């Protein structure tokens, strides 16, 4: 029995090594299969995840190019600011209250604001969320001292646009703001990042690619605690290029100050020979600094209010009023119906087709220069009826009205309106009448001209018949010969000079200024107050500057509201230049 029992136990132990071997083989096979799964099938993916945990990219903002005036004075630059962020994937819902309360206490921030910023900034992509902007030096120092215990939160530097002159030339310069998620998806292939800021209006928008620069960054290796062990690579950020403008800072300041006297309006000052814009201002205006980093809800409401401060009125059309008599004069003389020395009767009123139209004075038989000087309505009523609407609107188009000027800010510019016979039939479904011709001849009716278009017209008279292309960035001159007869130009130049010496703009007949030429205009806009216009140039014989000033619903006359604005700019521009004004 004993022998049998020993033999039975020996036989049972003989199976155990086999079972153990099977277990070992099974576990080894599972481990090999797992390793094959991790390294062969998902090896690349896992290596990428490991690198993400071990290697980090620390991006560096590019510095946006500056906007400079023609003398190199800074109009727009950049400034550094520190912002507070959280990485949402590192801060769970359960952990957020503790982190939030610590940040609020440490940095003096409102708990409600932190909650709202986190809620509104949450995104599906897991991008970091901005909790606070423009931290002060003390706040940044406090955070740095406690950073090790604030996992998931970070303070990072940001680059914001800065406009050292505030509202000055705001509509020309434009503004920048943060990129949206939709824009990021579209622009990321062009090197944009979620933290980028892009130009929204003005030259900031048009020259975005020139100004923005390229992101850089530093690739570093970190340990499990997130501490940097070594730098693996470094790519410096590439700054954007500066942009030199045609604006003249002292003249721009004078334009801004001149517009302080009106609630709404615009001023354009331009070199009549080249089309270079020396000043462009619009009222009401705005401070582009409010977009760096972002306007408050109250500020945003004001920017989108009924006065439309974001609108550049230099690019908007308004009735040109009596300034249009330049076009009517050109139309009459170019048509061949009138000769330069012809005279036309002026009376207290003009009656035609059963209707009568008043005037501010009768001067008898006068020629075109004197009619321009005193801005006689009855003179131009008669001329308009005789030459007809076709000649009138043909001359207007020839002088650049009814079409865009070609300035760089083409998306913001309107072409104005020339409400001719075809327009009235198509839009209003009505036939043309003599009343339409009469009102159009003095710049009323369905006519809208922008201050920039008007500056272009005055430049064509001043420079001897060249239609220049206005521009805000230094570039070669582009201009087109419009082919006005020398006699037509002579009549226009003589008449515009007489406006100042003995007509409606004697305010500018100042011995401290060089000889000035120009034309006033007072546009009706019932039931609102009248618009006021003045366009002119100087020196009359060899013009270097054209200025158009416009007061929207300012009341008063062109000679009393707009002409003083022009005088202020003329005084600034010609300061230090020997004057030979007066009659």
Residue 537 CA to residue 515 CA, distance in Å, equals 9
The strand pair at 153-162 and 176-178 is best described as: unpaired
Q: CA neighbours within 13 Å on the CB side: how many for 550?
A: 35
Fold classification of 56-244 is: Penicillin-binding protein 2a (Domain 2) (3.90.1310)
Using alpha carbons, select from 246, 244, 245 the residue that is nearest to residue 271: 246
Three-state SS at 350: strand
Q: CA neighbours within 13 Å on the CB side: how many for 274?
A: 14
Tokens found for residue 262: 């009106």
Residue 295 CA to residue 134 CA, distance in Å, equals 13
For position 4, what pLDDT does the model report?
46
- For residue 77, the surrounding DSSP H or E stretch is strand 74-86
Residue 329 CA to residue 333 CA, distance in Å, equals 6
- For residue 178, the surrounding DSSP H or E stretch is strand 176-178
Residues in the chain: 583
The strand pair at 67-68 and 74-86 is best described as: antiparallel
For position 296, what pLDDT does the model report?
83
Could you tell me where the DSSP H helices lie in 177-306?
181-187, 202-206, 208-211, 249-258, 297-303
For position 327, what pLDDT does the model report?
98
For position 194, what pLDDT does the model report?
77
The β-bridge partners of 475 are: none
According to CATH, the superfamily of the domain at 249-284+312-573 is: DD-peptidase/beta-lactamase superfamily (3.40.710.10)
For position 375, what pLDDT does the model report?
96
For position 7, what pLDDT does the model report?
47
For position 179, what pLDDT does the model report?
87
Where the chain has pLDDT below 50, the residues are: 1-9, 11, 49-52, 583
Whether residue 364 contacts residue 417, with contact meaning beta carbons closer than 8 Å, is answered with: no
Three-state SS at 58: strand
Whether residue 452 contacts residue 413, with contact meaning beta carbons closer than 8 Å, is answered with: yes
- Could you give the angle at which helices 377-398 and 325-335 cross, rounded to 10 degrees? 80
- The torsion angle over the Cα atoms of residues 355, 361, 364 and 369, rounded to 10 degrees, is -100
Residue 552 CA to residue 522 CA, distance in Å, equals 10
Residue 300 CA to residue 292 CA, distance in Å, equals 13
Listing DSSP states for 469-518 in one string gives --BSB-----EEE----HHHHHHHHHHHHHHHHHSTTGGG--TTS---EE
Residue ranges covered by each domain of the chain: 56-244, 249-284+312-573
Tokens found for residue 363: 């001067």
Whether residue 380 contacts residue 371, with contact meaning beta carbons closer than 8 Å, is answered with: yes
For position 193, what pLDDT does the model report?
83
């Amino acid at each position: 029995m004993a022998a049998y029992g020993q033999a039975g136990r020996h036989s049972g132990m003989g199976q155990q090594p086999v079972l153990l071997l099977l277990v070992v083989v099974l576990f080894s096979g599972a481990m090999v299969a797992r390793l094959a799964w991790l390294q062969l099938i998902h090896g690349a993916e896992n290596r990428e995840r490991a690198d993400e945990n071990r290697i980090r990219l620390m991006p560096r903002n590019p510095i946006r190019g500056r906007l400079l005036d023609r003398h190199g004075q800074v109009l727009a630059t950049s400034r550094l600011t520190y912002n507070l962020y959280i990485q949402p994937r590192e801060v769970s819902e359960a952990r957020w209250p503790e982190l939030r309360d610590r940040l609020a206490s440490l940095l003096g921030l409102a708990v409600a604001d932190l909650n709202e910023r986190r809620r509104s900034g949450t995104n599906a992509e897991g991008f970091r969320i901005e909790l606070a902007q423009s931290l002060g030096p003390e706040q940044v120092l406090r955070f740095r001292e406690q950073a090790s215990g604030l996992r998931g939160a970070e303070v990072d530097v940001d680059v914001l646009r800065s406009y050292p002159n505030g509202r000055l030339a705001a509509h020309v310069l434009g503004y920048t703001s943060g990129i949206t998620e939709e824009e990021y998806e579209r622009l990321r292939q062009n090197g944009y990042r979620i933290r980028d800021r892009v130009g929204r209006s003005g030259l900031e928008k048009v020259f975005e690619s020139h100004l923005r620069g390229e992101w850089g960054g530093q690739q570093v290796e970190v340990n499990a605690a997130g501490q940097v062990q070594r730098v693996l690579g470094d790519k410096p950020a590439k700054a954007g290029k500066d942009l030199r403008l045609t604006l003249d800072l002292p003249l721009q300041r004078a334009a801004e100050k001149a517009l302080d006297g009106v609630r709404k309006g615009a001023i354009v000052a331009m070199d009549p020979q080249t089309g270079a814009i020396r000043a462009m201002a619009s009222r009401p205006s705005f401070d582009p600094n409010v977009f760096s980093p972002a306007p408050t809800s109250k500020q945003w409401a004001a920017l989108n209010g009924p006065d439309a401060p974001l609108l550049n009125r230099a690019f908007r059309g308004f009735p040109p009023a009596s300034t249009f008599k330049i076009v009517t004069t050109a139309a009459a003389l170019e048509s061949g119906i009138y000769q330069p020395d012809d005279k036309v009767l002026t009376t207290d009123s003009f009656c035609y087709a059963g209707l009568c139209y008043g005037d501010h004075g009768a001067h008898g038989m006068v020629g075109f220069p004197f009619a321009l000087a005193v801005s006689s309505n009855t003179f131009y009523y008669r001329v308009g009826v005789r030459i007809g609407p076709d000649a009138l609107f043909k001359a207007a188009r020839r002088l650049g009205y009814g079409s865009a000027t070609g300035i760089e800010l083409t998306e913001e510019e309107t072409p104005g309106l020339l409400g001719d016979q075809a327009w009235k039939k198509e839009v209003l479904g009505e036939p043309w009448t003599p009343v339409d011709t009469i009102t159009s001849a003095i710049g009323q009716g369905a006519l809208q001209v922008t201050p920039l278009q008007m500056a272009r017209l005055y430049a064509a008279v001043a420079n001897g018949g060249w239609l220049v292309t206005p521009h805000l960035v230094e570039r070669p001159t582009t201009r087109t010969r419009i082919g006005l007869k020398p006699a037509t130009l002579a009549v226009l130049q003589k008449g515009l000079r007489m406006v100042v010496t003995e007509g409606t703009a004697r305010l500018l007949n100042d011995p401290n200024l060089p000889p000035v030429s120009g034309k006033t205009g007072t546009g009706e806009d019932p039931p609102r107050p009248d618009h006021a216009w003045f366009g002119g140039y100087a020196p009359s014989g060899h013009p270097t500057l054209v200025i158009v000033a416009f007061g929207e619903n300012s009341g008063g006359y062109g000679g009393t509201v707009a002409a003083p604005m022009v005088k202020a700019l003329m005084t600034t521009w010609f300061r230090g230049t020997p004057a030979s004004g007066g009659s």
